[in-house]
């Protein structure tokens, strides 16, 4: 429901007006003050009986809603008003007010931009103190043409801006100039788009946004328009009273009755000629403002300077042929306080800094960069170390520490350091183009490992494997010795020429040879001992197959062992770092890395 603020009187009024406000910010309070000043000014000079006064009843809209606007209009109609003023920045609400006023034939004075797309034909038109969309498009196009800007960027809050600036878009389509159109996202934050435009090196930016966005960039003039609207309506009522006595009649949303003097008052409104706060006020037959001027201002650090005037007949009178956009002039001969923090190699103290004073105590990359900037932009500076020695992090109470806090609290004009750009910091301070791009990394000393010892060749196999291999070697040697002793084919005559000495037989697999033969097979070198019997050959074949597998595995494990020892990375993620206790770790207190981990959500 809309909140109603009104003055109740028990006397006949000269005129009762209703004003609809839709802005709860400072501009809304300015509109309320403008209405009060206009009422008091008119009542002090009006030539009517003392009891006949002008009253303005104020209605506030909490949101741009068709339902709430209709409900508010149903509260206004029974009060017998002669005109409805506003709202200033709610397109949907303004459209609803125009329709209801048209049905009841109550003049509606608009102080905001035209609806886009245009409303269909209304049976009862309204008058607008705000310049038409066509005039604004012509004015912007004429200014761009005067300064010979071949390219421009248009920032729109909604797609309807192309209809509002139809004449401007048509001019760029006809010419060979470039117009880039960018739409604001749902957050209505123009910062990312302005950064894109800066990167594209486009010097001309045209902003067409709703009231909440344009208030961030330009000052609204709704208060002055509201002041002039009251005077325009009262002037029309006075002229109409000279020809006929008009009376007000309470109306209702549920009744088909209309105000019988509405058409006459609308005709007199179109004939009003008034010099107000916003300049000359005249209307054409369509109720659009005409014969007015737009003052072209150039913004400076100390305020605004008028550089030209655009007339509604599409003529331009400029005082300057070029815009003064030299930033160096705004910094020339000024002394800036530069806050910084000691960090190698960006900002360091000189080895003999005790003997020096002021800026001469410091050196480093950022100090050199600051000197170059000062030489180019012709400003002076004084380097000051941040008091708490922190970069800057938000506190629970909303304040900031470190260099960010000093910038916010105006203790410093500039911060020059190895300063990390974060989303939270960009909300409260502005950053320059980064001179280095880094990310959060884990830096630690490489583990050198132990020096290889005399028995490092045993590392590929565990002690248990070596033990079982030794047992297997002894077992094979024993089996081979027994098999050779039991097999008759392993016994032979050492002197085959002396056949009569058959009682002298020898066996090559003595205990020593039985131990030596597996060693030769294990080392893949062989020996002069060759098995003769089938049993000894089977034992030898099994041993050779075993040694082939063992040697291949040993070679592969040895290569892998040496490679892993060189490539071993004990820490691969933050989780690995948190799960161990051998390596000590930490971040800079109040730095961006600490803030990142504090704000991170772990699952």
Best CA proximity match to 424, nearest among 585, 588, 600: 600
Tokens of 140: 């912007």
* Pairing label, strands 15-21, 83-85: parallel
Annotated binding-site residue? 70? no
* Strand-by-strand arrangement of the 178-183 sheet: 178-183, 151-156, 205-208
C-beta pairs of 360-367 under 8 Å, 24+ apart in sequence: 366/340, 366/416, 366/417, 366/418, 367/416
Kind and range of the H or E element at 60?
strand 54-60
Mark residue 429 as left, alpha or beta (left: phi above 0; alpha: psi -120 to 50; beta: remaining).
beta
* ω into 485 cis (within 30 of 0): no
Phi, psi of 151 (to 5 degrees): -140, 150
Cα 536 to chain centroid, rounded: 83
Q: H-type helices in 324-364, by residue range?
A: 328-331
Annotated binding-site residue? 83? no
> Using the 8-state DSSP alphabet, how is residue 508 labeled?
S
> Using the 8-state DSSP alphabet, how is residue 469 labeled?
H
Annotated binding-site residue? 293? no
Say which residues have a Cβ less than 8 Å from residue 346's Cβ, sequence separation at least 6.
364, 365, 366, 417, 418
* Tally of CB atoms within 10 A around 16: 20
* Pairing label, strands 279-283, 289-290: antiparallel
Residue pair 379/353 in contact (Cβ under 8 Å)? The answer is no
Best CA proximity match to 230, nearest among 5, 23, 42: 42
Annotated binding-site residue? 593? yes
Mark residue 92 as left, alpha or beta (left: phi above 0; alpha: psi -120 to 50; beta: remaining).
alpha
Residue pair 2/67 in contact (Cβ under 8 Å)? The answer is no
* ω into 160 cis (within 30 of 0): no
Question: Using CA atoms, how far apart are residues 283 and 91, in angstroms rounded to an integer?
Answer: 21
Phi, psi of 596 (to 5 degrees): -60, -45
Write out the E strands in 144-255. Answer: 151-156, 178-183, 205-208
User: With the C-alpha atoms ordered 103, 105, 111, 114, is the resulting torsion angle positive or negative?
Assistant: positive
Phi, psi of 529 (to 5 degrees): -85, 120
Annotated binding site: 420, 425, 592-593
Annotated binding site for L-glutamate: 420, 425, 592-593
């Amino acid at each position: 429901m809309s909140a109603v603020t009104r003055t109740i009187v028990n006397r006949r009024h000269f005129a009762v007006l209703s004003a609809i406000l839709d802005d709860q910010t400072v501009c809304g309070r300015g509109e309320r003050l403008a209405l009060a000043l206009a009422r008091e000014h008119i009542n002090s000079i009006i030539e009517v009986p003392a009891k006949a006064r002008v009253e303005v009843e104020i209605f506030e809209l909490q949101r741009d809603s068709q339902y709430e606007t209709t409900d508010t209009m149903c509260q206004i109609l029974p009060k017998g008003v002669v005109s409805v003023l506003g709202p200033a920045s709610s397109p949907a609400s303004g459209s609803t007010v125009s329709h209801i006023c048209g049905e009841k034939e109550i003049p509606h004075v608009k102080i905001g931009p035209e609806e886009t797309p245009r409303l269909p034909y209304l049976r009862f038109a309204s008058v607008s103190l705000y310049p038409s969309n066509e005039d604004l498009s012509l004015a912007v196009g004429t200014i761009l043409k005067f300064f010979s800007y071949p390219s421009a960027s248009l920032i729109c809050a909604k797609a309807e801006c192309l209809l509002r600036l139809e004449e401007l878009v048509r001019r760029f389509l006809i010419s060979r100039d470039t117009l880039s159109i960018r739409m604001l996202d749902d957050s209505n934050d123009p910062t990312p788009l302005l950064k894109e435009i800066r990167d594209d090196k486009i010097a001309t930016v045209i902003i067409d946004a709703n009231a909440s966005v344009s208030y961030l960039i330009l000052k609204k003039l709704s208060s002055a328009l509201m002041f002039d609207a009251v005077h325009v309506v009262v002037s029309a009522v006075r002229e109409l009273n000279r020809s006929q006595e008009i009376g007000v009649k309470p109306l209702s949303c549920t009744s088909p009755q209309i105000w019988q003097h509405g058409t006459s008052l609308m005709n007199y409104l179109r004939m009003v000629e008034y010099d107000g706060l916003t300049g000359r006020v005249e209307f054409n037959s369509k109720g659009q403002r005409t014969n007015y001027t737009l003052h072209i201002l150039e913004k400076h650090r100390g305020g605004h300077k008028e550089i030209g005037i655009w007339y509604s007949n599409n003529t331009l009178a400029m005082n300057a042929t070029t815009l003064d956009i030299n930033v160096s002039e705004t910094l020339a001969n000024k002394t800036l306080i530069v806050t910084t923090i000691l960090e190698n190699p960006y900002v360091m103290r000189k080895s003999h800094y005790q003997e020096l004073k002021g800026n001469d105590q410091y050196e480093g990359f950022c100090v050199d960069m600051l000197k170059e900037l000062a030489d180019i932009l012709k400003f002076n500076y004084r380097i000051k170390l941040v008091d708490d020695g922190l970069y800057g992090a938000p506190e629970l109470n909303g304040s900031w520490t470190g260099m960010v806090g000093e910038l916010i609290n105006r203790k410093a004009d500039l911060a020059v350091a190895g300063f990390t750009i974060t989303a939270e910091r960009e909300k409260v301070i502005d950053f320059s183009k980064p001179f280095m791009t880094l990310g959060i990394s884990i830096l630690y000393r490489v583990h050198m490992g132990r020096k290889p010892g005399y028995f490092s060749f045993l590392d590929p196999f565990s002690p248990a494997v070596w033990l079982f291999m030794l047992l297997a070697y002894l077992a094979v040697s024993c089996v081979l010795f027994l098999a050779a002793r039991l097999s008759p084919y392993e016994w032979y005559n050492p002197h085959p020429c002396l056949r009569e000495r058959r009682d002298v037989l020898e066996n090559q697999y003595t205990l020593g040879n039985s131990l030596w033969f597996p060693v030769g097979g294990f080392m893949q070198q062989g020996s002069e001992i060759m098995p003769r019997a089938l049993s000894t050959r089977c034992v030898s074949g099994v041993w050779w197959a075993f040694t082939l597998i063992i040697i291949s595995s040993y070679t592969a494990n040895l290569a892998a062992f040496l490679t892993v020892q060189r490539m071993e990375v004990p820490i691969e993620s933050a989780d690995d770092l948190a799960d161990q206790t051998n390596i000590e770790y930490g971040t800079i207190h109040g730095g961006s890395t600490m803030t990142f981990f504090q704000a991170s959500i772990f699952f």
